[in-house]
Structure 1
Amino acid sequence: MYTIVSASPKDADLLAALEVRSESYWGYSSEFMEKFKQIYLITEEFIADHPTYMLKDNETIIGFYGILQGDRENSLEYLFIEPAYIGKGYGRILWNHALSECRKLGINEFTIITSPDARGFYFRLGATIFTEVDSQIADGKKTPKLIYRL
């Protein structure tokens, strides 16, 4: 039986390690992953300042997400699943929880900057292309920026 609980800043290292394993699932090069770690890893500060939730099975962390409320734009900053659990419905469980949290926070739309590999997951859940932005990792490449309206 799984539970969804608020993350605490002390969970940052565990969540960052899960994030790296999850992103590595897509077969990116070691150079790409090193840049990813430098730019995108979740921090204690993010967790302390923003709604961040973990999906757990007993003490095993299956995945997590975080919501960034901005002055002009809200975004789903993280949604990562432990590789052994990818494709088994846990991403959708976290997504549905995130939508519920957004409603509680009065968020009626949010953006998602995602990898091309994960884009299909978000499309299946109702997100649409908003634009493309320059990749912060791969020079000269674009990455999808999606939008979801509740």
Structure 2
Amino acid sequence: MQVRSTSMRGEIVIRRAVARDVKRLTRLVRGSRAYEGQYAGMVEDYRVGPDYIETHRVFVAVDADDAGGRVLGFYSLVLAPPELDLLFVENGMQGRGIGRLLVEHMKSEARVAGLDRVRVVSHPPAEGFYRSVGALPTGTVSANPPAVAWDRPELEFPVQ
């Protein structure tokens, strides 16, 4: 199922990710400016693979006006236990409603799956965004060196 929406950018289509998207999604994660500096090590070797897309509900937001279907962002919903595992919006495209659109789509998918809430362990700089789109703070996930060297906010999206 595809969802079409109009944002400040133009028409955006949200569709299920497919195997041919994995390189684009991997580049989006590794190139995210949100993970520069002290956070760079967390994503430098990160890979979104076909197995990940097959296992989880991964959706991409694409520019409907771009013949190549430029990926503007994506998210991954894990059903058991319910968690928003990944959400990335392309550098330079943040603040244009794409992240908000992806979160609304995720909540809709969660509702269809019968979930009543979805957990998110936030990258510290993204906490404000998640709160602005309805996530409620539930605690803090402690650092787990060497993989993650800092505490992270834990939030929850109520799904109604």
Instruction: Please classify the TM superposition score into its range, dividing by the shorter chain length.
Output: 0.7 to 0.9
Would the aligned equivalents of 2:120 and 2:154 in 1 still touch at CA under 8 Å? Answer: yes
- Percent identical: 26
C-alpha offsets along residues 72-124 of structure 1, whole Å, 9 cap, x if unaligned?
x2000111000111111110011111111111111110100111110001101
Look up the match of 2:39: 32
CA distance in 2, matches of 1:135, 1:128: 20
Higher helix share: 1
Residue 52 in 1 paired to residue 58 in 2?
yes
The one of 100, 106, 109 equivalent to 1:92 is 100
Partner SS state of residue 118, structure 1: helix
More relative contact order in 1 or in 2 (CA 8 Å, sep 6+)?
1
Q: 1:96 to 1:21 in 2, by over 3 A?
A: same
| TM-score normalised by L of structure 1 | 0.86
1:14 corresponds in structure 2 to: 24
Report Cα offsets for 1:55-77 as digits up to 9, x if no partner. 0003110000010011xx20001
Counterpart Cα distance in 1 of 2:117 and 2:20: 29
1:11 CA drift (Å): 1.5
Q: How far has the Cα of 1:135 moved from its partner?
A: 3.1
Aligned residue for 2:31, secondary structure, equals helix
1:144 pairs with one of 124, 129, 153: 153
SS at match of 2:30: helix
Aligned residue in 2 for 1:64:
74
Q: 5+ unaligned residues in a row in structure 1: which ranges?
A: none
Check the 8 A contact 2:35/2:42 in 1, yes or no: no
Q: Which runs of 5+ in 2 are unaligned?
A: 1-10
C-alpha root-mean-square deviation of aligned residues, in Å? 1.7
